[in-house]
Amino acid sequence: MSQRDGFTSGFLAGTLVGGLVGGIVGALVATRRNDSTQDEFSALEGDPDRAEASIEGARRSLEAKIAQLNLAIDDVRQQLSSPNGNASDLERELRDR
């Protein structure tokens, strides 16, 4: 019975200490993260041209990635729809790129 009592008190103490440490770490991480996002927003708000350039750059990057994905999807669709698609055809296409 004494082992069970020791386990219960240890479990409760661990729960309390773990909750306290986790809460403190979470609060510190949240404040640092909030500060960094505030710095990013304030930097963008200060210069509208820079904000537009940043948004435009992100848009172009996303458009390029979407175009790459569309090409990959088209390639896979063609390979799956061809009745006699060979692995050698696929290898040739990959080498040609």
Whats the size of the chain, residue-wise? 97
What is the C-alpha to C-alpha distance for residues 56 and 63, in angstroms, rounded to an integer? 10
86: alpha, beta or left? (left if phi > 0; alpha if psi -120 to 50): beta
What is the C-alpha to C-alpha distance for residues 97 and 8, in angstroms, rounded to an integer? 65
Domain ranges, ordered by start, for the chain: 2-96
Q: For the chain, what is the mean pLDDT?
A: 81
Confidence band of 88 (pLDDT split at 50, 70, 90): low
The separation between the first and the last C-alpha atoms of the chain, rounded to the nearest angstrom, is 73
pTM of the model: 0.38
CA torsion sign for 42, 43, 46, 52 is negative
What is the C-alpha to C-alpha distance for residues 16 and 35, in angstroms, rounded to an integer? 29
Tell me, what's the pLDDT at 54? 86
28-71 pLDDT, tens digit per residue, is 888 888 776 666 666 556 677 777 888 999 999 999 999 999 99
